[in-house]
Structure 1
Amino acid sequence: MKSLNDSLWEKCERDWQRPHYQKGKTIAELFEEEKECFLQLPAKEYECVRYEQVRADKYGCIRVENKLYSTSPRFAKQMVLAKISYQEIEILTEDYELIVKHERLYGTKQKSMKWQPYLILMAKRPNALKYTDFYEKMPSEWQDYFSHCTIQEKQKTLQLLAVLLKEHDFEISTQALRLASQYGHPSVDSIKQVFYQLINGRGIRESVQPKISVPTMPEASRGLSHYDRFFESTGGER
């Protein structure tokens, strides 16, 4: 919707240079003359919105014009205020504090989810992560990382993402994950450290280069899959 409005605005700007069919001046010149007759505008901008008081369902979602919008698990079955404009829907508390903001849905799309408020709750049941839309929309790097995590690591990582995604999108956190994974499966603290180095402009610290030769060690494999070879069939026996 915003891109359509921007493109239409550009067309209108170009159309200003069109000569008026009768007065022999451009539309832009005639507009400048008419501005002298304008009345003073109000000091405060008028918001073209409407408000609806709605109750969230047990999942913390509200319904506006038959479309679902997420709020937060803590607002499940509670009354919230929907501030509706042509391009977005802001969901507010009864004290007019912002909970979450969505792009307004049109057409066939039926549901808009902002997962960040749900990640803390999701961390309590980390094994259910892969069955969510949030997991399907994750960058492939994060999907691969979670597939090699223990349950405790999944919990800590979801708690970390709940903080990181509050003010940043997946782009920076994914970059931090790539850098932290250069030497194997990184810990949650390693990802967090690299992330804050990136957003604070400190760059990435180089690894210490020892002055003596260090033997190359094989990469340790994670998980239990490498124990499967003990159960492989050999000559009819296990």
Structure 2
Amino acid sequence: MLPMINKYNIKTMYELQGKSLRAISEETGHSFRTVKKYATMEDFNVKLKPRVYSSKLDPFKETIFTWLKNDLDKPLKQRHTARKIYDRLKNEFIEECDVSYKTIANFVSKARKTINNPETHGMTYLKHSHGEAQLDFGATTYIHSGELVKGYHLVITFPYSNHGYVQLFPAQNQEALFAGMKNIFEYIGKVPKEIWFDNMSTAVIEIKKNGKRTLTDDFYRFAAHYGFQAKFCNPSSGNEKGSVENKVGYFRRNFFVPIPEIKDLNEFNINLLFQCDEDSKRVHYLKQSEIFTLFQEEINEFLPLNRNSYEVFKILKAKTNKMGYVNFKNNIYSVLPRLKNQEVWIKYYYDHIEILDEKYNLLTKHKRSYSKHIRYTNWKEWIEVLKNKPRSFENTELFDELPQSFTAFFKSKTTYDEKRKLLSLLGEFLIKDSLEVAIAALEENTSKGIQDIESFKVSYRAKLEPSKIYDSLKLKDYIPKITEFEIDLTQYDRLMGGVYG
């Protein structure tokens, strides 16, 4: 199985550099069949299968790089050849090195190009051509569900036209990075050929002395899926992507003042994309043409959008505790009461998490929290436990979260059966996500002095699905149909002295 970086290299050599499959095969040393597979692959989504990306040469690549870099100040005729490197590895790592000469020769050829390529030292000035984009994050505060949230807005700009798009997230992790990029790609229906990044930890693992970067495997996968070429600025050189640096501040001042109050972040982000297009319908500060018009010109040179949508998530294995909860990112989430001390998978997105069993079947979902040391319980899955201990319900976190009208109604019930019956109803409210409807029915009954559970149940269901109440009153088929009788009131009008005409 090829490492993801090799797949990415094959894909970019074929689509961006225009090399033939045969030429890529010869340059990389991979078989024609392997090159064709990854050059034409469209879907790079994770298939949730354990995969190992490794090469027999991996343990020795750093050694080879060191030897080649040390050769740079040596006479040309006294530098390492591929054959000499092969011989040295075989002599110095007698038992460990089980690598063919062809593999080493191919790697040495590519390594020399990397070391001698001036692009690895970065550029001090970027020419703004069609198909180029820049990306960065900025800090932004917003209000969500009544709470002040320290968020981050992801910005992609297109320096040629000075157009840009922004998306808002509660974090600047890799899930948010990929989700924001995906949203923008799918909105414009194209993908820029090149995207400039700073050396964010969500993409870059290490910057080596020669300027070459080791990227995360997930970043390679995402870039290969959409086909763009990732480029990186020199460390501490924000001026190299001045377009996006300026736009980060522009969007903060113009889109997030006053501080926005957000109910649904996904819906808010969709509206942001439309707002960005509206904002671009103004004249470019230098080119004296409308920004949006310039963007429509350059987008024709972008890459086509992969028809396979990329699912942005990460997955890890975890184990539930003796209470049926699992730890994830400094918080504790409920799974199921019966799953105690069991291994599960946590599939997490930027805004929610899914907990799966060993076969990847869904067990439960939670909104993802970026707070710390908080316990979250999906109470609709724990009602059966509470029903068996109804008197202890008043000591749970759920009881404290419920409206006062419901908790008072619960306290007014004195028998075990009444409390159990009310908890069954509560389970129905949570499963149907209809707690607000239930509270409205309860408060209406209370205002009329109606305090029994059965009346509460009828009022709730009448409000939730009024048509079903009337449907249940329909006559059975075996009851004879009676023709509707129409009353003639004219005789009564005469008796009462009314006008009859």
Q: TM-score range by the shorter chain?
A: 0.7 to 0.9
2:381 maps to amino acid: P
In the TM superposition, 1:36-51 aligns within 5 A as 36-51=300-315
Would you say 1:179 and 2:444 are equivalent positions? yes
Asked if 1:131 is matched to 2:404, the reply is no
Which residue identity lines up with residue 457 of structure 2 in the other structure?
A: K
* 2:334 is equivalent to residue 97 of structure 1: no
Bigger shift: residues 149-158 or 20-29: 20-29
- Residue 327 of structure 2 corresponds to 63
1:68: Cα distance to partner? 0.9
What is the DSSP-based 3-state SS (H/G/I as helix, E as strand, rest coil) of the residue aligned with 1:74? Answer: coil
Report 1:53-202 matches (<5 A). Answer: 53-108=317-372, 110-149=374-413, 150-181=415-446, 182-187=448-453, 189-202=454-467
Q: Is contact 1:54-1:62 (8 Å) kept?
A: yes
Check if 1:12 corresponds to 2:268. Answer: no
Alpha-carbon distance between aligned partners in 1 of 2:345 and 2:461, rounded to the nearest angstrom: 35
After superposition, the Cα gap between the structure-2 partners of 1:46 and 1:186, relative to the gap in structure 1 and judged at 3 Å, is same
What is aligned with 1:21?
A: 285
Cα gap change, 1:141 to 1:180, in 2 (>3 Å): same
Is the 2:345–2:356 Cα contact (8 Å) retained in structure 1?
A: yes
Deviation digits for residues 152-191 of structure 1, max 9, x if unmatched?
111111122212211214201212222344333222x333
Q: 1:9 to 1:146 in 2, by over 3 A?
A: same
- What is the distance in 2 between the residues matched to 1:112 and 1:125? 20
Tell me if the contact between 2:332 and 2:373 (Cα under 8 Å) persists in the aligned partners.
no
TM-score (norm. length: structure 2): 0.37
Alpha-carbon distance change, 172 to 24 in structure 1, aligned in 2, over 3 angstroms: same
Whether the aligned pair in 2 keeps the contact of 1:105 and 1:112 (CA below 8 Å) is no
Q: Say if 1:175 and 1:25 are closer, same or farther in 2 by CA, change over 3 A.
A: same
Aligned residues: 204
Identity among equivalent positions (%) equals 29
Mapped to 2, the partners of 1:96 and 1:179 lie a distance apart of 44
Q: Is this contact kept in 2: 1:82–1:90, CA < 8 A?
A: yes
Offset of 1:100 from its aligned partner?
2.5
Encode CA deviations 1:41-98: one digit per residue, 9 max, x unaligned: 2222111110112111122211111211112212222222211111111222333333
Check conservation: 1:194, 1:204, Cα contact below 8 A.
no
Q: How far, CA to CA, are the matches of 1:102 and 1:170 in structure 2? A: 18
Contact 2:331 2:372 in 1 (8 A): no
Give the direction of change, closer, same or farther, for the CA distance of 1:60–1:13 in structure 2 (3 Å limit): farther
68-77 vs 2-11, which moves further: 2-11
Task: Indicate which of 295, 299, 302 corresponds to 1:35.
Answer: 299
Distance in 2 between residues matched to 1:87 and 1:143, nearest whole Å? 31
Compared CA separation, residues 186 and 44, structure 1 to 2 (3 A): farther
Q: CA contact under 8 A between 1:48 and 1:85: conserved in structure 2?
A: yes
What is the aligned partner in structure 2 of residue 217 from structure 1?
Answer: none
Letter in 1 for 2:377: M
Q: Distance in 1 between matches of 2:288 and 2:466?
A: 56
Single out whichever of 131-140 and 170-179 deviates more from structure 2.
170-179
Contact 1:53 1:82 in 2 (8 A): yes
Instruction: Give the 3-state SS of the residue equivalent to 1:54 in structure 2.
Output: strand
Aligned to 2:187: none
Deviation at 1:30? 2.2
Pair 1:160–1:86, CA change in 2 (3 A):
same
1:116, 1:165 within 8 Å by CA — same for their partners in 2? yes
Of 192-201 and 64-73, deviating more is 192-201
| Paired letter, 1:64 | F
Where does structure 2 lack aligned partners over 5 or more consecutive residues?
Answer: 1-168, 171-261, 471-501
Which deviates further from its counterpart, 8-17 or 93-102? 8-17
Bigger helix fraction = 2
- 2:330–2:372 Cα contact (<8 Å) kept: no
- Shift of the 68–14 alpha-carbon distance from structure 1 to 2, 3 Å rule, reads farther
For 1:30 and 1:108, how far apart are their aligned partners in 2?
A: 45
Q: CA deviation at 1:108?
A: 4.0
CA drift of 1:14 comes to 4.8
- Residue 104 of structure 1 aligns with an amino acid whose one-letter code is R
Q: Contact between 2:346 and 2:356, CA under 8 Å: does it hold in 1? A: yes
Match of 2:39? none
CA contact (8 A) 1:198 1:204 kept: no
